[in-house]
Amino acid sequence: MENVQLTIVDGIAMLVINRPKQLNALNKQTLSEINEAFEYMRDNDAVKVVIMTGAGEKAFVAGADIKEFADFSGAEGSDLAKTGHMTVFNVIEEFSKPVIAAINGFALGGGLELAMAAHVRIASDNARMGLPETSLGVIPGYGGTQRLPQLIGKGRALEMIFSAKMIDASTALNYGLVNAVVPQEALQATAEKMARDFMKNSIVAMGYAIEAVNAGMLEGAIGYDVEVQAFGDCFETADFKEGTTAFLEKRKPQFPGA
């Protein structure tokens, strides 16, 4: 695998998203490799707990790869979201062993959505989190419209989506978006200590707990389908063309509002 590194030591699988020059943005290949890694870990008894993090000191994951989808049609947009849900984000949420996201910098858009699909989140004190999609003329398409309100409540979630602004690690802790904040140099050790604490308990029971907690969220499952359709619809708008073009041209967008 090129964009993902996987090491397994003493029951802990460390999965590193590794495209640091692009701030670990999730292109198709990276998503496919994350899927491959989880398929491998599912059947591997040496893996008890998974820690996911980003390569480098700047970013966990800065989002879906904007360069890759800027020219997509509505149908291609919906397909991108649906494939992401099915092959990565739902796979992580439903993974039968605990998954901890160690957020070591920017977790934006699809990057925050990846962290939210994990069961538990720990952030470094320099981490910044947000769903900036509306600044590109699109909506969160990898489960963010569902998982963010589940974690922090509807009002705060919609404020984050409408403003497209980032929050810092202490605000994220205050919102309950992350379970703990630690200095960046302590992040890995803290995540590993949490993993070792989990491993003292029954992995089988934790798998059932994940299943039961997820089942309690199923009432809103239709929301994921609405997100896929609406994400695609955004790709047909002039605002989306302007938003993504402005990002690629490194300028502020002038949204036509259509």
Sequence-ordered list of residues with C-beta below 8 angstroms from that of 256, at least 6 positions apart, any chain? 238, 239, 242
Q: Does 98 bind ligand CAA (CB under 6 A)?
A: no
Segment 204 to 243, residues that bind ligand CAA, using CB under 6 A:
none
Annotated catalytic residue within 33, 93, 133, 192: 133
3-state secondary structure of 204: helix
Q: Does 22 bind ligand CAA (CB under 6 A)?
A: yes
Segment 54 to 73, residues that bind ligand CAA, using CB under 6 A:
62-67
CB of 236 to ligand CAA, least distance (A): 16
Helix residue spans in 123-153 (DSSP H): 144-152
Q: Which of 98, 109, 232, 243 binds ligand CAA (CB under 6 A)?
A: 109
Q: Which burial class, exposed, middle or buried, applies to 202 when counting CB atoms under 10 A from its CB (0-12, 13-18, 19+)?
A: exposed
| Number of residues located near ligand CAA, criterion CB under 6 A | 21
Nearest residue to 71 (alpha-carbon basis) of 232, 230, 241, 239: 241
Q: Does 198 bind ligand CAA (CB under 6 A)?
A: no
Q: Which of 93, 133, 192, 242 binds ligand CAA (CB under 6 A)?
A: 133
Annotated catalytic residue within 33, 93, 113, 192: 113
Of 26 and 191, CB closest to ligand CAA: 26
Query: Does residue 242 carry a catalytic annotation?
Result: no
Q: Does 92 bind ligand CAA (CB under 6 A)?
A: no
Q: How many CA atoms lie within 13 A of 214 on its CB side?
A: 19
Output phi, psi for 103, to 5 deg. Answer: -90, 105
Separation of alpha carbons 15 and 26, rounded Å: 14
Q: Which stretch binds ligand CAA (CB under 6 A): 33-41, 94-102, 133-141, 202-210?
A: 133-141
Separation of alpha carbons 137 and 206, rounded Å: 39
Q: Which stretch binds ligand CAA (CB under 6 A): 7-15, 30-38, 96-104, 132-140?
A: 132-140
Q: Which of 54, 98, 137, 141 binds ligand CAA (CB under 6 A)?
A: 141
CB of 7 to ligand CAA, least distance (A): 25
Sequence-ordered list of residues with C-beta below 8 angstroms from that of 58, at least 6 positions apart, any chain? 20, 23, 105, 106
Q: Are strands 99-103 and 120-124 parallel, antiparallel or unpaired?
A: parallel
Catalytic site positions = 113, 133
Residues making contact with ligand CAA (CB under 6 A): 22-23, 25, 62-67, 106, 108-110, 113, 132-133, 136, 140-142, 144
